[in-house]
Structure 1
């Protein structure tokens, strides 16, 4: 699965543009009530809305550059920490991660997936943010949402899950289903439902408005 575009609400598009353009160095374009941010192969869009903040997004980086990413970010903004630690490793996912917040409290993750063959010898910079590889989707019933996404778009569970947490997709792109109210690691920010539109490549093409949520997913076939 590949995530092509994600649209979220944003309260202060000026502050968001300054962050993604001036801090992360990404290409942005603002038009009226919309802000577009190019993240490698993916596009992140914000549209003005009263309810915003608290989303979770992950950006893929080269598998060998988590230390470089950590240093690069520390020169520009504060990293999120847990018990003094700012770089994390998941043995189950075989991945290394660092986290930060954007101006509206969206939890951003830079993740080096060691299952990917995407090592780079280039100096770390904005071009090393390769794509949006995860989008958090809080729901009231994680197993039911998992079943619906499987039937409608052909998405399958990724590794292990639980009644409150289940990624679906693959290591190219994941939708992170969590029970509403569960905090996004490594914060105490409770996951909440936000109007979210996602364009992706999935096994089954089509459009799904996930029941009981403000989520709209549009799938096109790979290739």
Structure 2
């Protein structure tokens, strides 16, 4: 599974545009009065204005080259404060053979940059920039109907990683390990690591494999649609 496009909502649209384009240096693909799109490697991240009283936040990850983790971390620390977990500002996941660091953006999204050593490529560049990002590789799907949505994803070609069973009270990595991209399916009120935030349900949409659109409303109900 590959994540082609992710659309998220923000109460701080102008700050988000300035942060991702002017501070971090991502390429601006388009902008309207209601949103903007940036290039994140092979993926597109769209941020749209949220017109309700809630302040949506999400967790998403971007894959980065395996030889540029230290450079990416130094680059990020020069622009934003990294978040910590038990006083560490990075983590190695032995079960993934991957290394990550995290920060919060102006919307309060928990953003992860991750080097997946077993699946992601190296870069020919000597130092990291926003253009070094490979793709969006994780986005949360938070719902009270974990098993129901998980089974619908499975029937549409998105398996649980490594053939695991769906856990209604835990975080399920939906996608193939070899592709290095996952939908993080789980319930509300789970704490996101490297933050004090608990998972909540907010509207979002994404396109995977360039042909399946997945939309989630504010109640955690999912719609699947084939796209051309």
Compared CA separation, residues 53 and 206, structure 1 to 2 (3 A):
closer
1:98-117 to 2 correspondences below 5 Å:
98-117=101-120
Deviation at 1:12, TM superposition (A): 2.1
**What is the root-mean-square deviation of aligned Cα atoms in Å?**
2.1
1:9-48 to 2 correspondences below 5 Å:
9-28=9-28, 29-48=30-49
Shifted more, 123-132 versus 44-53: the winner is: 44-53
Give the secondary-structure state (helix, strand or coil) at the position aligned to 2:175: strand
Deviation at 1:53, TM superposition (A): 3.0
Which residue, out of 130, 150, 154, partners 2:154? 150
Tell me if the contact between 2:205 and 2:213 (Cα under 8 Å) persists in the aligned partners: no
Would you say how many aligned residue pairs link Structure 1 and Structure 2? 218
Structure 2 match to 1:7: 7
Richer in strand (by share): 1
Shifted more, 210-219 versus 93-102: the winner is: 210-219
Tell me if the contact between 1:200 and 1:220 (Cα under 8 Å) persists in the aligned partners: no
Deviation at 1:10, TM superposition (A): 1.2
> What's the TM-score once normalised by structure 1's chain length?
0.89
Deviation at 1:102, TM superposition (A): 0.6
1:76-128 residue CA offsets vs partner (Å, 9 max, x unmatched): 11001012201100001110000011101011000100112511131211111
Question: What is the rounded CA distance, in whole Å, between the counterparts of 2:215 and 2:82 in structure 1?
Answer: 34
Which residue, out of 51, 61, 64, partners 2:64? 61
Tell me if the contact between 1:138 and 1:178 (Cα under 8 Å) persists in the aligned partners: yes
Structure 2 match to 1:71: 74
1:42-191 to 2 correspondences below 5 Å:
42-49=43-50, 50=52, 51-122=54-125, 123-151=127-155, 153-159=156-162, 160=164, 162-163=167-168, 164-170=170-176, 171-191=179-199
Tell me if the contact between 1:139 and 1:213 (Cα under 8 Å) persists in the aligned partners: yes
Deviation at 1:215, TM superposition (A): 4.2
Give the secondary-structure state (helix, strand or coil) at the position aligned to 2:161: coil
Compared CA separation, residues 118 and 208, structure 1 to 2 (3 A):
closer
Give the secondary-structure state (helix, strand or coil) at the position aligned to 2:86: coil
What are the ranges of 5 or more consecutive residues in structure 2 without an aligned counterpart?
none
Question: What is the rounded CA distance, in whole Å, between the counterparts of 1:103 and 1:65 in structure 2?
Answer: 25
Give the secondary-structure state (helix, strand or coil) at the position aligned to 2:205: strand
What are the ranges of 5 or more consecutive residues in structure 1 without an aligned counterpart?
none
